[in-house]
Amino acid sequence: MLLPIVAGLAMAAGGCVRPVLTANDVVVRPDGTVQLMAFLENATLPGLSNSIRSQRIMFSTGQTQLGQARSGEEGRAFLDCRLPTGASSYIASAHFLFSHMQSTGRVFRWTKDRTILVVDIDDTICDTNREEVIFQKRDLESSPIRHARPTLARLAESFQIAYLTARPESQFVKTVNWLNDHQFPPGPVFVAPSLGRMIRQTKYKTDALRTLRADWPNILIGIGDSRVDARAYGNNEMLTLIVAEVHDEVLDREAIVLRDWAEIEKFFDSNRPVLTDPARLGRLLKDGGAFTVPYAPARNSAGG
């Protein structure tokens, strides 16, 4: 899965260099503080030592100046602050060489009384055209996997949703646009900040979830398609659901494997009382309790 992306990133390393600033999605912490994030890069070198370091980035919202920070080794600048009441976005701005850049970031607010569901993107909800993702300004060829969007839309009525992908930071805006274009329910999108973390997907996703769960222990369910997802969710003691037509022994040991999104929906319907109660679900996961799994046996990797 990674080889085509890495090769494409290498091919994209030619042409003229253009600095780009991107404000990331953020979630307000339970204590009301937030860590704003912005990424400064050379646009024609996505994922390949493309970060621009040691540049001042200003953060604001409306007419309120929030502060400033310098971009670090991965091109990211962070600012811990409090936002004005009701703010749903913030602005990051920077000057670099002869360019003035500005980007708007989305602000999300979660509550601890609703379970948070983390969803992978590629091959989980998106049948990804990797050439389109890498080389085009907007991804018009990748399509939603059958039943994924309506199932998540229904789940969003009872759960809070986040998207966690190993796509590189340079694909953040394109990823958000694709989710919006296909009317997936809103939720913060978290991406890998560097090529190194993109390649070491299990560690990246494990660490990202651990950081998020330090503030939000009600992140308790993960949906993905691979062993990487299963291990990252499992490393964080989450309920792990894998969408796969074919079972394999490793996934069967580490996760609940369901054929498709129609089966995902049935699983949530069958276990809704416990899944929608973070305290109860947390206790069940800790105690190793069982869930109702309403699906017909899938084919195994040997074709049985």
pLDDT tens per residue, range 18-48: 889 999 999 999 999 999 999 998 876 444 4
Rounded Cα gap, residues 260 and 14, in angstroms: 40
pLDDT at 11 over 80: no
The 10s digit of each residue's pLDDT in 154-185 is: 999 999 999 999 998 888 999 999 999 999 99
What is the number of other CB atoms lying within 10 angstroms of the CB of residue 190? 23
- Strands 33-42, 64-70: parallel, antiparallel or unpaired by DSSP? unpaired
Rounded Cα gap, residues 280 and 101, in angstroms: 46
Q: What is the mean pLDDT of residues 256-265?
A: 95
pLDDT at 269 over 90: yes
Q: Which two tokens stand for residue 162?
A: 């986040």
Tell me the sheet residues that pair with 96.
99
Per-residue pLDDT at 6: 47
Non-local (6+) Cβ contacts of 136 within 8 A are none
Q: Which two tokens stand for residue 116?
A: 């948070």
Backbone angles phi, psi at 197, to 5 degrees: -75, -30
Among residues of the chain, what percentage have pLDDT more than 90?
69
Q: How confident is the model at residue 250 (pLDDT cuts 50, 70, 90)?
A: confident
pLDDT at 255 over 70: yes
Q: How confident is the model at residue 10 (pLDDT cuts 50, 70, 90)?
A: very low
pLDDT at 241 over 80: yes
Show the domains of the chain with their CATH numbers. Answer: 16-109 (2.60.40.10), 116-300 (3.40.50.1000)
Q: Is residue 108 within 8 Å of residue 26, measured between CB atoms?
A: yes
pTM for the model stands at 0.89
Q: How confident is the model at residue 294 (pLDDT cuts 50, 70, 90)?
A: confident
More confident residue, 192 or 134: 192
pLDDT at 304 over 50: no
Q: Considering the chain, what is the average pLDDT of its residues?
A: 88
Helix-, strand-, coil-residue percentages of the chain, each rounded to 5: 30, 30, 35
Q: Which of 136, 81, 129, 138 is nearest to 105 (CA)?
A: 81
Q: Which two tokens stand for residue 211?
A: 């950081």
